[in-house]
Chains A and B, each alone.
Chain A
Amino acid sequence: MTGAYIPGDSVLHRLPAGAKLAGLLACCTVVVLLSSPWALAGAAAVVAALYAVSGVGAAAAWAQVRPVRWFALALFAMQFLLATPAQAVATTLRVVVAVALAGLVTVTTRTSAVMACLERVLSPLRLAGVDPVRLSLLLSLAVRSVPVVSGLATRVREAQRARGVEWSVRAFGVPLVVGALRHADTLGEALAARGFDDE
């Protein structure tokens, strides 16, 4: 959900966010329960077909599972050595299929649609004193802040390299935390300026 939505007009794009999230939950449950490598390979084929239906392209599909590639590889190697090859295949496929499914929902659903759906689902929490609008805004802000803070981390690192500072947790962490706090501060002001504090 790091704003990775890819516009399109496929059936998957048009499905309501709630249906997709519920489907994701159901599919992940099934994937966790499947234990035969053949069944999981079948699931992987189904996911690949869904990606084809979505029309987002192979590059976008790869971008979804790419972050877990080393983890998947390590998992496979470990299971291969400690358990059976069949188990290694099954466990690895399970992880990759689940991540790919989550990624598919991400690229075909706008964050705002997910938020609107969450607001509806969470609305009973109103009775418990939780404001669902605030909660869903919090999630949007978190999503939005990921690239901002990672950009900040890159700048801090570059500035230090330019000054010839060796890698040190403190020299990196302090400016990063200060920068992140400052960002949080200005973000709060910006929200106030955009009229959020009076809701």
Chain B
Amino acid sequence: MIEFSDVRVRLGGREVLRGITATLRERRVGVVGANGSGKSTLARLVNGLVTPTEGAVTVLGMDTRRQAAKIRRRVGFVFTDPDAQIVMPTVAEDVAFSLRRSGLPAAEIERRVRRALAEHGLQDHADHPAHQLSGGQKQLLALCSVLVLDPDILVMDEPTTLLDLRHSRHVAEILRALPQRILVATHDLDLLAGFDRVLVVDEGRVVADDEPEQAIRHYRKLMA
């Protein structure tokens, strides 16, 4: 469960979020809004990359301000640009990096890495340099490196923005099949089909909070 209580965030002297209150119990929650409306900031709040200037964010019963490290162990985060989050030179090593503190024996880590890569069709690239992957494959690798830890919550900030239609659909399918709770900030409205709840953010406020269809209709009107 993710709970925002009257959250305000000021960044560089600007009020980026102005009083967000919401309790997210649904399994799949989307966040849409114009450029600069505060979607990324909202997403970052969930694992404590951004902390509220006022108010509080509680995730799985923990305050993001005090227990960010603990929260991050259970909340996976996928960024828009996979180049920024792939930290190891080769594909398999990057996935293994996630498991470095699992305490598992090397052989077991290796087995889990291979399995995770196979699940996302990356098995033939295991020992390739990450920079040789296509943009879509890099995003799959980023996702793979997060999912191998089996997080309770997955937060994604525009995961499909750099992807072509086929890779976007692939990511959408993966999301649909995931048992985890998901919070996705996106401009890709197709991604939100089948979601349980969509928040529309505008100028740092939630201006609509509804089932996807109604929320998206509201968003389209807002953008018209």
Contact = CB atoms under 8 A, between A and B. Distances in A.
Nearest to A184: B84
A144 B88 contact: yes
A140 B102 CA distance: 20
A186 B86 CA distance: 11
Contacts of A110: 90, 93, 127
A112 B88 contact: yes
Interface in A10-67: none
B195 interface: no
Interface stretch (B15-23, B56-64, B69-77): B69-77
The contact size tier of chain B is 20 to 34
Interface string B4-43: 0000000000000000000000000000000000000000
A148 B129 CA distance: 11
B221 interface: no
B145 interface: yes
A3 B77 contact: no
B220 interface: no
B81 interface: yes
A93 to B, nearest CB: 30
A1 B174 CA distance: 33
Contact of B72 (A141, A148, A186, A192): A192
Given A186-B79, A199-B101, A3 B72 contact: no
A147 B83 CA distance: 10
A187 B73 contact: no
Contacts, number: 87
**DSSP class of A's interface residues: helix, strand, loop or mixed?**
helix
Interface string B100-141: 010000000000000000000000001111110000000000
Contacts of A156: none
A5 interface: yes
Interface string A149-165: 00100000000000000
A110 B76 CA distance: 26
A147 B72 CA distance: 28
Contacts of A141: 87
A174 interface: no
B131 A193 contact: no
Contacts of B87: 137, 140-141, 144, 187, 190-191, 194
B89 interface: yes
A77 B173 CA distance: 61
A143 B49 CA distance: 25
Given A190-B79, A197-B69, 16 more contacts: A5-B90, A5-B127, A111-B88, A112-B90, A144-B88, A144-B89, A151-B83, A183-B84, A186-B85, A190-B77, A190-B85, A190-B87, A192-B72, A194-B77, A194-B87, A195-B73
Interface of B: 47, 49, 69, 72-73, 76-77, 79, 81, 83-90, 93, 96-98, 101, 126-131, 145-146
19 contacts: A3-B89, A3-B129, A3-B131, A110-B127, A112-B96, A141-B87, A147-B129, A151-B131, A186-B79, A187-B87, A189-B84, A193-B72, A194-B77, A194-B145, A194-B146, A195-B72, A197-B69, A198-B69, A198-B72
